[in-house]
Amino acid sequence: MAQQQRAANTREAIVTGAATAFQAHGYGMTSLAEIAEASGVTKGALYFHFDSKEAIALAVIDAQHAAAGTIGVALHESGTTGIAATLTASFAFARQLRENPIARAGIRLTLEASSFQTPVVGPYLDWIAWIEGYLVEAAAAGDLREEVNPSTLAHLIIPAFTGVQMVSEVLTHRDDIYQRVEELWLLLLPGTVPPDRWEQIRELLARIRREVSEQP
């Protein structure tokens, strides 16, 4: 049992170290030697757990996606649904991108996945399905215009959020990501929610941004 725990700890150290290296240098410019050094392990230990740099990168992406999944779990446990869940998920993910090295590295690797032999589409599909589910709830609650299709809107929101967080990273290292996400919603929501719900939802948006950004 102790040996299994040591192996698990070593694998976790490799994923964490690789995230640091990949975030700093990108997939193409990061060597296995740099990953081993950042992880504090030997190359032998590296190859014991992973047979290639791509396998390590995919493990970082999986770890990032698992971390993102905790947002959905928290929303479910709190009973948050519909528009509130959609908005909260976006700011909670923005918070992860500001504060979690594995989240930052995983997203960078997902965007660089054209270099991989293994296609990386799962995270995008999962996020689209996740947001679509919340939007279906929003429609049922009367918080979407009748002509707005939840699936179509989800397929717009995820690419839009991806672009916003990418540009935020380039320009400010995501220091302004909460502001940019709020601005994204301020532009999208008036055309998607019923006019008589807009003021209430705008207040909800401001409150969610404040609560998520001010969490300790």
pLDDT reported for residue 198: 96
- Rounded to whole angstroms, the Cα distance separating 32 from 47 reads 9
Residue 33 belongs to a domain: no
82 neighbors 134 (Cβ within 8 angstroms): yes
Number of domains the chain contains = 1
- Evaluate whether residue 2 is within a structural domain: no
Question: In the predicted model, what is the mean pLDDT of residues 129-137?
Answer: 96
**CA 142 to chain centroid:** 28
Token readout for 205 is: 């948006």
In a domain, 25, yes or no: no
In-domain check, residue 29:
no
Tokens, residue 49: 């757990």
Q: Is the pLDDT of residue 117 over 90?
A: no
* Residue 145 within a domain: yes
**What is the model's pLDDT at position 120?**
80
| Cα separation, 2 vs 183, whole angstroms | 50
Q: Work out the pLDDT band at 43, boundaries 50, 70, 90.
A: confident
Alpha-carbon distance of 57 to 22, in angstroms, equals: 8
Q: Is the pLDDT higher at 8 or at 33?
A: 33
Q: How much is the pTM?
A: 0.90
As a whole number of angstroms, the distance between CA 127 and CA 173 comes to: 23
Q: Which residues contact 97 (CB under 8 A, 6 or more apart)?
A: 103, 104, 107, 165, 169, 174, 177
- Range with top average pLDDT, 27-31, 56-60, 124-128, 178-182: 178-182
The contacts of residue 189 (CB under 8 Å, 6+ apart) are 198, 201, 202, 205
Grade residue 1 by pLDDT with cuts at 50, 70 and 90: very low
Q: How confident is the model at residue 98 (pLDDT cuts 50, 70, 90)?
A: very high
What's residue 45's pLDDT?
85
Task: Report percent pLDDT > 70 for the chain.
Answer: 99
Q: Report the CATH number that the domain containing residue 72 is assigned in CATH.
A: 1.10.357.10
pLDDT on residue 46: 87
Structural domain range at position 148 = 54-213
What does pLDDT average to over the chain?
92
Q: What is the pLDDT of residues 142-176, one digit of tens each?
A: 999 999 999 999 999 999 999 999 999 999 999 99
Task: Let me know if residue 13 belongs to a domain.
Answer: no
Mean pLDDT confidence for 60-76: 93
Question: For 60-85, what is the mean pLDDT?
Answer: 94
- For the CA atoms of 46, 51, 52, 53, the dihedral, rounded to the nearest 10 degrees, stands at -30
Judge whether 8 lies within some domain: no
Residue 142 domain flag: yes
**Hey, what amino acid is at 55?**
A
